Chain A
């Protein structure tokens, strides 16, 4: 039996859709091609997930997005794999072109302290306990390594690259509430190889880069992304009385995050306010029209600059040692 159930093409956008068996209670739908990372496809993933949720196929239990895929759980007593795939194929044709998709998307502003002492502590523990000669550890931190990987002149350029773009939560997963963020401004695309082997301790609130995704650690945990700094707690899984009054998970899929820079001392003060329940997160409800993204990306100067930076990055990545 082949793992691929069917491959079809959307009539409107010619996007390829691949249906794969994922056990007897789930299928995995993949959109577009394996590579590269394409935000347009991720917008379509979320439009599809919402459409499936709203349409409510009988026997469809749960939908979980990825960067370019959807995992769909179903109840095989109620719905056979074949009828699920044909129902999905029909539903896919009803989803509008990426350019006319509008998704619910909040704007959340978070402070960030770059190269903070807790991140350094995590890097140092890794150096001592796991790998003393890790090429991604330069002078007790990962920041300088990430600067090199992206062919940037200095740390300040890396920081401003992160600060100048809004970051799109392409999906939530790995740990509860962990967002995987991609820049909406293509000039802010950055990437870095991951740890090898993994790091056994990462502080809660750590902001880290692995592959093309920026993540925020919701809990103290293992990790394999390069540590860049720290922000506020983004989950409140164990509820205390006043903090996170709205939701135990701060960042939902499709939310847009922007960072503002503060010192470590200021961050510690803000984190204290969160724990005391006196801090109000900066959250602005809203929607995101994907057309906005197309307009921005099609700007000649933006596009030229994004391509220039991508070329620099590819060249730089050839020169760095991969862990």
Chain B
């Protein structure tokens, strides 16, 4: 565990109302430790998160805030630049509206208020120039709530918490704006790209089951969170009678490590393994969300949104990655 002691830090904001479960995250998070039982944590929507960091003038790997549902209220304690990305929501600075997807200069004493997300989408990302200063824990600054480590004391932010940032060592960043045409669009009924497997047909599911998986409109359950997006129960036929020694249900198998974004058949319930998920287990992963489409899982509104899964191949997945990289290229942003 190394601390940030070499860089100078200053208090950046004081939380007046943290909202539902606001956490400090970094991207790509706690990689390289799955063999020890760590999933990466980090933002559920990596796209909006990374764009907000670029707009705030921060490099990759910088920590910022993930704000599910909005409703975040804070008093700013130092001059700087902020950027907020995510679904449409009313954001004000000293009760004056400020834009999303744009760098916004701020001054000590300003009051920032994010309203509740009432339309499409579910998570907002707030980056502060310099990046949030919290210690690196097991290789990342991301909060992992299940184990109570990382981020701000291993927990979600609470009222009266003071969040610090690193003092940037270069000059004022360019003020940037993401053109509307480049911003991701949010919806109530999502299409999420997946790759088949590792445990699909014909040995686990029947061909009919797989068609059903792709054609069904899945409802995102109210209990969805950073651990997993959960869907309505559904009974597949399965291509085998039981899981033998591993358990009675045909989705059971001998325990193995799960891929991030895996679509897990937990008995009769499908879930998408989120960044705070458990790393292994004895259930079939019937499909895996394309890495470039993982951001969509972060914008699923629990209890409301629906999902259809669209199967793609490796080439299409590579094309999607290129597309996402274009959205992350600051040369495509407007400067002022």
Q: Which residues does A use to contact B, with CB under 8 Å?
A: 1-4, 20-28, 30, 34-37, 49, 61-71, 73, 76, 80-81, 171-178, 180, 191, 193-194, 211-213, 218-219, 221, 237-239, 248-249, 252-253, 322
B9 to chain A, nearest CB (A): 21
**CB <8 Å contact, A172 and B256:** no
B179 at the interface (CB under 8 A from A): no
A71-B261 contact given A22-B198, A175-B37, CB 8 Å threshold: no
Chain B residue at minimum C-beta to C-beta distance from A174: B278
> By the criterion CB–CB under 8 Å, are A68 and B37 in contact?
no
Number of B residues near A (Cβ < 8 Å) is 55
The 3 tightest CB contacts between A and B, nearest first, are A3-B197, A66-B256, A23-B288
Q: Could you tell me if B254 and A37 are in contact, using CB atoms closer than 8 angstroms? A: yes
Label chain A's interface by main secondary structure.
loop
B contact residues around A180 at 8 Å (CB): 255
**Interface residues in B236-255 (C-beta closer than 8 Å to A):** 244-248, 253-255
Name the contact of A65 in the complex, choosing from B147, B257, B258, B291 (C-beta under 8 A).
Answer: B257
Contact B196–A1 (Cβ < 8 Å):
yes
Residue of A nearest to B277 (CB): A174
The answer to whether A23 and B290 have CB atoms under 8 Å apart is yes
A173 and B197 in contact, given A35-B246, A64-B35, A68-B254 (Cβ under 8 angstroms): no
Chain A residue at minimal CB-CB distance from B34: A64
Chain A neighbourhood of B196, CB < 8 A: 1-3, 21
Alpha-carbon distance between A298 and B258 when the two chains are bound, in angstroms = 34
Q: How far is the CB of A83 from chain B (nearest CB, A)?
A: 12
CB distance from B168 to the nearest CB of A (A): 29
Residues of A near B257 (CB, < 8 A) are 28, 64-66, 69-71, 171, 173
**B35 to chain A: closest CB distance in Å?**
5
Partner of A71, one of B37, B253, B258, B282: B258
Cross-chain pairs A/B with CB under 8 angstroms, 25 sampled: A1-B313, A20-B198, A21-B195, A22-B262, A23-B290, A23-B317, A24-B195, A24-B317, A25-B291, A26-B288, A34-B253, A34-B254, A64-B35, A68-B254, A69-B256, A71-B34, A71-B258, A76-B321, A80-B314, A176-B38, A176-B147, A212-B245, A213-B255, A249-B37, A252-B36
Q: Is the CB of B37 within 8 A of A238?
A: no
A177 to B38, CA, bound (A): 8
Chain A residues within an 8 Å CB radius of B261: 23
Is there contact, CB below 8 Å, between B314 and A76?
Answer: yes
- CB atoms of B318 and A76 under 8 A apart: yes
Partner among A67, A173, A239, A253 whose Cβ is within 8 Å of the Cβ of B279: A173
How far, in angstroms, from A212 to B149 measured CA to CA in the complex?
30
Q: Is residue B65 within 8 Å, beta carbon to beta carbon, of the partner chain?
A: no
Q: Is the CB of A20 within 8 A of B259?
A: no
B268 within 8 A of A: no
A221 to B188, CA, bound (A): 33
A61 surroundings in chain B (CB, below 8 A): 31-32
Min CB distance A8 to B, Å, is 16
- Indicate whether A172 sits within 8 Å of B35 (C-beta atoms), given known contacts A35-B254, A64-B279: yes
Q: A35-B246, A36-B245 are in contact. Are A23 and B262 (CB under 8 A)?
A: yes
Give the Cβ gap from A290 to chain B, nearest Cβ, in Å: 19
Whether B98 is near chain A, meaning CB under 8 Å from some CB there, is no
How many whole Å from B48's CB to the nearest CB in chain A?
20
